[in-house]
């Protein structure tokens, strides 16, 4: 009888969630079927339900675990007594590294949250809205301090966050520059676009 093998010390549920992330990224949430997932896990579709409640639950788990990591990070950064530019750079580096090293989850959380259902959907959208406002507030502050040139802060946030999601293309490409080079290039361009001179 087939059995979900749990290397490391992952629960079987965690194995399923991880495989789901890969699958949802490759095909999209709607196009990825539970039978696909079952095959990836090495088990029959019905067996998955010994470990999870529903397909949507998988999406919840992915979306909120990612969202929580970003919220914790901005909590931390806001408290630091550094310049606005340094705070932004720190956040950007965190985003970049999340996108590099937890690609599947972050990508899914970014692109597939639309398919959450409604207590969770509104919740997620709220968290996202609040996160962006806090990010924008840091930028506004930098503008007041003349560290950052006079721009529309929400627009700057939207540029930063979406630019980083472009790391998707880096993952897809065959001739990749190293993660470190990628990080430095992105910081150079993005921070370079903000600073007052």
Partner DNA sequence: TTTTATCGCTAACACACGTTAGTATGTTAT
Partner DNA sequence: ATAACATACTAACGTGTGTTAGCGATAAAA
Q: Does 179 engage in binding with its own copies (CB under 8 A)?
A: no
By a kind-dependent CB cut-off of 5 to 8 A, residue 3 interacts, out of its own copies, DNA, none, with DNA
Part of the chain binding its own copies (CB under 8 A), chosen from 12-20, 81-89, 116-124, 151-159:
151-159
Give bridge partners of residue 195 from the DSSP assignment.
Answer: 148
The correct pick among 43, 74, 160, 190 for binding DNA (CB under 7 A) is 43
Query: With contact defined as beta carbons under 8 Å apart, do 91 and 73 qualify?
Result: yes
Asked if 145 interacts with its own copies (CB under 8 A), we say no
Asked whether position 194 contacts its own copies by CB under 8 A, the answer is: yes
Half-sphere exposure at residue 90, Cβ-oriented, CA atoms within 13 angstroms = 19
Q: Match 């019905």 to its residue by tokens.
A: 46
Q: Are 62 and 24 in contact (CB under 8 A)?
A: yes
- The verdict on 56 binding DNA (CB under 7 A) reads yes
Residue 67 binding result from its own copies, DNA, none, given CB thresholds of 5 to 8 Å by partner type: none
158 counts as binding its own copies under rule CB under 8 A: yes
Taking the C-alpha atoms of 165, 176, 29 and 6 in order, what is their torsion angle to the nearest 10 degrees? -120
Q: Is 149 helix (H, G, I), strand (E, B) or coil?
A: coil
The vertex-185 CA angle with 184 and 186, nearest 5°, equals 95
Question: Which of 28-36, 127-135, 154-162, 176-184 is the region at the interface with DNA (rule: CB under 7 A)?
Answer: 28-36
Tell me the C-alpha distance between 63 and 116, whole Å. Answer: 9
* Residue 158, binding choice from DNA, its own copies, none, Cβ under 5 to 8 Å by partner class: its own copies
Q: Which of 50, 68, 82, 145 binds DNA (CB under 7 A)?
A: 50
Return d(Cα 153, Cα 59) in angstroms, integer. 31
Positions in the binding site for its own copies (CB under 8 A): 27-28, 30-31, 111, 114-115, 149, 151-152, 154-156, 158-170, 173, 177, 181-182, 185-186, 188-194, 197
């Amino acid at each position: 009888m087939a059995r979900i093998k749990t290397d490391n010390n992952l629960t079987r549920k965690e194995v399923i969630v991880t495989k789901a992330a890969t699958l949802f990224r490759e095909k999209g949430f709607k196009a990825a079927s539970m039978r696909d997932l079952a095959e990836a896990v090495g088990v029959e579709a019905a067996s998955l339900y010994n470990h999870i409640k529903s397909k949507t639950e998988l999406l919840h788990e992915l979306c909120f675990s990612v969202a929580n990591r970003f919220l914790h990070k901005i909590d931390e950064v806001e408290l630091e007594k550094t310049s606005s530019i340094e705070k932004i750079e720190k956040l950007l580096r965190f985003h970049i590294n999340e996108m590099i090293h937890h690609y599947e989850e972050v990508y899914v959380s970014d692109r597939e949250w639309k398919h959450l259902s409604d207590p969770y959907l509104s919740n997620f959208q709220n968290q996202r809205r609040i996160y962006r406002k806090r990010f924008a507030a840091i930028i506004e502050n930098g503008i007041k301090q003349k560290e950052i040139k006079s721009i529309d802060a929400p627009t700057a946030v939207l540029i930063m966050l979406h630019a980083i999601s472009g790391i998707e293309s880096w993952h897809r490409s065959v001739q990749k520059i190293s993660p470190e080079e990628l990080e430095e290039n992105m910081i150079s361009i993005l921070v370079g676009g903000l600073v007052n001179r």
